[in-house]
Amino acid sequence: MDATRNSALEVWMAEHGHSSNSLADAVNDALERLTGRAGGLDGSSIRSWKAGRVKWPKSATRKALEDVTGLPAIALGFVPRSRTPLKPAPSQEDSAMKRRTLVGGIAAAAAAAAAPGSSHRRIGMSDVDRLRTRFAEVIASDHRHGGQLGIEQRAATLADEALNLQNAGSATQRVRGSLYACAASFRSSAMWAAIDGRRYDDAKGHMREAQALAEMSGDQAIKFRIWSHTGTMYRHMGRPADALAANDVARNLNITRRDPLFASLGHARQAATYGLTGDTAAVARSLGHAQDALERADPDLARPMWMAAVHTGAELETLALAAHFRLGNFEQAETHAHRSLTLLCPRMRRDRAINTARLAAAQLGQGDVELAVTTAMEVPSDIAAQHARVTRMLYEFGAALDATAPGSAAIQAWTEQVADRTTAAQLCRA
């Protein structure tokens, strides 16, 4: 991609389903509300923004765009005429090479923020609250789609925005700590999107930066999230020893003693990793500790939004499903799959698709071929085509089905379903 292109705007448009024409219409409507006069933008205007030919739209247009997107123009990749252009979010191919040097970059940001005379406005909790709203949007996108490169890039861009605010003005220590926590939160979401998309090299880069930012923030909850995600990453990579070690770091944080809900999640993720090692006793022990902690957790305590599925018990059932499936305990896995699907919120489409695919595999493992195929067909086509983990699960399901019931009517039905989904995916990409 041309280095002058506005990749941040392109990522936002792709994530929110906007074409050049639809965004032009939305900004024109916002302009009319602001000025009383209809805007004159069209698709070519937006294409000029994306191509980088327009670096900084006129003030009224810029304000209308900010109203439409909920983001400042800088976060959308536009550059004030007096400023040096910001780096676009890294692509999957060049992220390992172009991502900032971690320690030096963050230390430089902190030093610049503290330097005398560097501030020109007051940064306050309203700025932090705006970033937290953007974080809620990233979490919602993850729940719907998961693993998409656009989510990873958007989260990484917002992490940089949070760090840039450290340099934008004066702030109290509380605000600065909150900004580092926001940056760590966004970077942890970029990490999770990369893990979910099986882009593990990118995930490790996000992990290192997120860990450093979390240390600077002092926020125990985000530290837990990052180390817990690290354990999940190593589990998906087939490195159980590293996964157990990372989970231990998360489980030994003070927040797990203050709030049993964090302890419950830590034990449950450890159980899923023990499933990878084949340690049946350790799985049972960890799941028992997780259930005990869940029952002790205060249901009215305020917690981060990413803990929602933990609070309902859905995450414990999901991880129990993963653990028993790895052990080959297909009957128990099916039970936990049904429980998880009952407890998961409808908006959590990614998690529901993963657990439905696992449910189908557990049913097939018990010899229920026709039921398994019927279940697998319930995975939404868009997620089956676009989500790397789900795609892999369904491929493995098809291979197991072929080995279990070669030439059967069930496998013929599944083959036709896969062909239809492949055609639909190709038409969407055309």
Q: DSSP letters of 72-139?
A: -GGGGT---TTSPPPPPPPPTTTHHHHSPPHHHHHHHHHHHHHSTT--SSB--HHHHHHHHHHHHHHH
| 71 lies in the same domain as 124 | no
Q: How confident is the model at residue 421 (pLDDT cuts 50, 70, 90)?
A: low
349 and 148 Cβ atoms separated by less than 8 Å? no
Inform me whether the pLDDT recorded for 244 exceeds 90: yes
Rounded to 10 deg, the angle between the 102-114 and 149-168 helix axes is 30
Inform me whether the pLDDT recorded for 219 exceeds 90: yes
Mean pLDDT of 65-87: 71
* Distance between CA atoms of residues 20 and 97, nearest Å: 31
Q: What is the pLDDT of residue 1?
A: 42
Phi, psi angles (nearest 5°) of residue 54: -110, 110
Report CA torsion sign: 279, 280, 281, 282: positive
Residue 130 in any domain: the answer is yes
More confident residue, 170 or 289: 289
Cα 430 to Cα 43, 280, 382, 386: the distances in Å are 20, 47, 15, 14
* Distance between CA atoms of residues 279 and 274, nearest Å: 6
| 269 lies in the same domain as 333 | yes
More confident residue, 383 or 340: 340
Domain count, the chain: 4
More confident residue, 408 or 221: 221
| 27 lies in the same domain as 109 | no
| 109 lies in the same domain as 40 | no
Structural domain for 27, as ranges: 7-76
Residue 230 in any domain: the answer is no
Q: What percent of the chain has pLDDT over 90?
A: 49
Inform me whether the pLDDT recorded for 192 exceeds 90: yes
Please identify which residue in the block is written with the tokens 């993720």.
Answer: 269
Q: What is the pLDDT of residue 4?
A: 76
The whole-chain average pLDDT of the chain stands at 85
Inform me whether the pLDDT recorded for 106 exceeds 90: no
Phi, psi angles (nearest 5°) of residue 138: -65, -45
Give me the torsion for CA of 253, 197, 16, 428, rounded to 10°. Answer: -160
What are the tens digits of pLDDT across the range 110-142? 444 444 444 457 888 889 999 999 898 888 888
Beta strands in 291-380, from DSSP E residues, in sequence order: none
pTM over 0.75: no
Inform me whether the pLDDT recorded for 63 exceeds 90: no
Residue 227 in any domain: the answer is no
Mean pLDDT of 41-64: 89
| 63 lies in the same domain as 105 | no
* Distance between CA atoms of residues 155 and 168, nearest Å: 20
Residue 166 in any domain: the answer is yes
Residue 290, both tokens:
């997780």
Q: What is the pLDDT of residue 122?
A: 85
Residue 36, both tokens:
């009383």
